[in-house]
Structure formats: C-alpha cells, structure tokens
Homo-oligomer: A and B are copies of this chain.
Amino acid sequence: MRNFTFQNETKIEFGKESYKKLPEQFKKDGIDKILMVYGRNSIKKIGLYDTLIKDLKDAGIEVIEISGVQPNPRLSLVKEGLEKFKNEKCQAILAVGGGSVIDTSKAISAGYFYDGDIWDLFAKKAPVKEGLPIYTILTLSATGSEMNGNAVITNEKTNQKWDISSKALFPVVSYIPPELQFSLPKSQTINGGVDAISHVMEFYFDTTPRTEIQDALAEGIIKTVIKATETLIEDPEDYQCRAALAWGATLALNGLLATGKQGGDWSSHMIEHALSAKTDVAHGKGLAIVFPAFLEFSKSKIMEKLDRFAEKIFGIDTGNKGYDSDLAIKALKDWYRKIGQPVKLNQIGVEENQIEEIAENAAQISPFGQIHNMNKKEILEVLKISYK
C-alpha cells in the first residue's frame, strides 16, 4: 500500500424515487435556474422527464434544456450546452442520464471557467481549476461518473476520445434510483456491468504490492456485479440486483479502490477509447474485447494476481500446479461470451487493416499504463491479440 490522499464530497441519494428530493436540495442550495442535460427519448419513455419538469416547476425552478447526448458523447454538443448555459445565465447543471450525459455536463462545467478552446483541457494544455455545481440523476449504471471528477468526451472532428479529471468536477449530489433502469435495453445493462467490472480490474491489476484490503474490496464488488448482471439479463426488473449493480458501479470508480495503489493501469481503457473513437463501438463491448487481450499481453507481470483472480472471482481451484494465468483470462472471456459480449475485434466488424490506425490514435496520448510503459508498439501487440 502506498501513501494516498482520499476525499470524495459527493452526496449520494440512493434508492427508489430518491430524485424526489431534488427540488428541495436546489432550494437549500439557493438554485433557481438550471441547465438540464439529457439524451434522447429514454427519460421521456420512463416518465421521468414529465415528473421532473413538474416537480421543478412546482418548486419555482426554471429549467433550460439541452438534449441529444449520445453514447461516446460529442464535443460539439458540449460547446452548444456551454453557450446555452452562458446565454441563459444558469446557476447549475442537472445531468439526467448515464455516463455520457454526466460527462457532457462536466465538460460544460470545466469549459465555463476556461477562456480558450475547451479541447485544450482534454489535450492537457491547461488544467481544470474550477467547476459549476453539478447534480445528477443516474439512469444507467456503468461509468461511475456520478461520484467522481472524470469525464471522457469525443472530439468528432479529430476522432479523439480523451478525458479530463479534476476535483472541481465532482457532482454536488447524485441521485441513484435503481428502478429507473428497469426498462434499459439488455445490451446497455450488460455493457454497464462490463464497464463497472473493468474499472475495478484497472485497479486490481495495478502491481503495487501489499494492497490486501483494496483487493478484497475489489473482489467483493466484481463478484456482486457479475451475479447481478447475470440475474438482470433474465429479470430486468429485479430491484435488488439493479441496486447491487448500481452501487457496485459507483464504488468501482469513486476513489475507494484507488487508495494505496499507483493510480490503476488504464491501458485497456486508453486503447478502448481509441477503438470507439474510430468505430463508435459501445464502451462496454470494446472493453470486453480489449481487456482480456491486455491481460494476455501482460500475463508474465501479473501471474500471481491472475491466479488469485481465477480463484476468488470464478472459484477455480488453481491448485498446486504453479501459476496458470490462462485460467483467469479464459474464465473472463467465457463469462463475457456467456452474457453475449464480443471478445474479438473481428466480431464487431473491425478489419485487420484498421488496427494500425486504432493504435496510432491511442498512441497520441502514449506512453500510458502502470504495468507497462505502453507505446505504439505495445498497443499494436494488444490489438493484434484482440483481433481474432
């Protein structure tokens, strides 16, 4: 365990209809005009939009809207939202949706306090110093964005999917009502589960020695999310499994698992970001393809951990045979297949000759990684393993 600083001030309001507390919170915080950010129709279909607008109106809160956020959220919409926020002189942002909506809101927030081109912040040409008050109502558990200061945005002009991270971007309050996820398409539930597990794994395979307590917590979260995801595929309205997946996804990336580690590895995420920047594949699908390939590429450096992973997560008796990292990687891929995820690039229509440009895209922000120093050569090797 290394030295660490931990602080997470976001308030979580978790549970059925917890968003009903939102108008009261705005009043308490002196907010009476907000920019509400959301996606397309899903929040209208589940009736959340109408309820929310009525509740906010009844409380005397003026709502300016910006909608149309897509998965792999676009920079252009961020800029549009920022313009609207400024013109309308809003006081806070309400993100109603999943990680894409929250990340769009965080980017607006960061951009508000920066005079130059907002993409500078993502290119790390300037730091994010300040943020607007952000409130979120989570309708899709996956990214953990509801309780951290990270945001990932795609610049659709340059095909770059890059991130920002700052203490200033933590939401003030996040409402997590699991029942809002009952009607999610099956694929989104699955992608969410895979994303959550992948966040945990980024920390778990960080090679910092002696992190017993973090590893035990990580295993608890992964096992719970795996079980909940499996049940939800069969019964999407199982409230308790929605709750377990939701809270697990939040805890996966709220800083708890980062304590004492060297930041996590994140190579799989960086490579996947390049993959979805180039192909627009869903993040959870991309991770199911890239992560096992990355583990394969890294196995000589994380043998002991892979063995423990096989044993603790999948109950495989690794016995006295010495380390056999392939057991863990095979079990993980088998589980992805079982829940219907692709595990190879060729399953999602990527051609072999695209690998080079994906690697090139990822290499723009190289070197990265805690386990290796990942540059284009290493990224290419991972992508080749992941091809077929």
Select which of B212, B223, B260 is within 8 A of A216 by beta carbon. Answer: B223
Count residues of chain A with CB under 8 A from any CB of chain B.
38
A213 at the interface (CB under 8 A from B): yes
Q: Which of A274-323 contact B (CB under 8 A)?
A: none
Q: A1-B15, A5-B13, A6-B11 are in contact. List 4 more A-B contacts (CB 8 A).
A: A4-B15, A7-B9, A213-B248, A216-B224
Select which of B12, B213, B228, B240 is within 8 A of A5 by beta carbon. Answer: B12
Proximity string of chain A (196-224) to chain B, C-beta cutoff 8 Å, 1 when within and 0 when not: 00000000000000101100110111011
Smallest CB gap from A214: residue in B? B247
* Count of this chain's copies in the oligomeric assembly: 2
In the complex, which residues of chain B have a beta carbon less than 8 angstroms from the beta carbon of A259? 14, 247
A10 at the interface (CB under 8 A from B): yes
Proximity string of chain A (2-26) to chain B, C-beta cutoff 8 Å, 1 when within and 0 when not: 1111111111111110100000000
A-B contact pairs, 17 of them (CB 8 A): A1-B240, A1-B244, A1-B247, A3-B15, A4-B15, A5-B12, A5-B13, A5-B14, A7-B10, A9-B9, A212-B244, A213-B221, A213-B244, A213-B248, A216-B221, A216-B223, A247-B260
Smallest CB gap from A216: residue in B? B220
A27 at the interface (CB under 8 A from B): no
A129 at the interface (CB under 8 A from B): no
| Complex-state Cα separation, A248 to B213, whole angstroms | 7
Smallest CB gap from A7: residue in B? B11
Proximity string of chain A (331-362) to chain B, C-beta cutoff 8 Å, 1 when within and 0 when not: 00000000000000000000000000000000
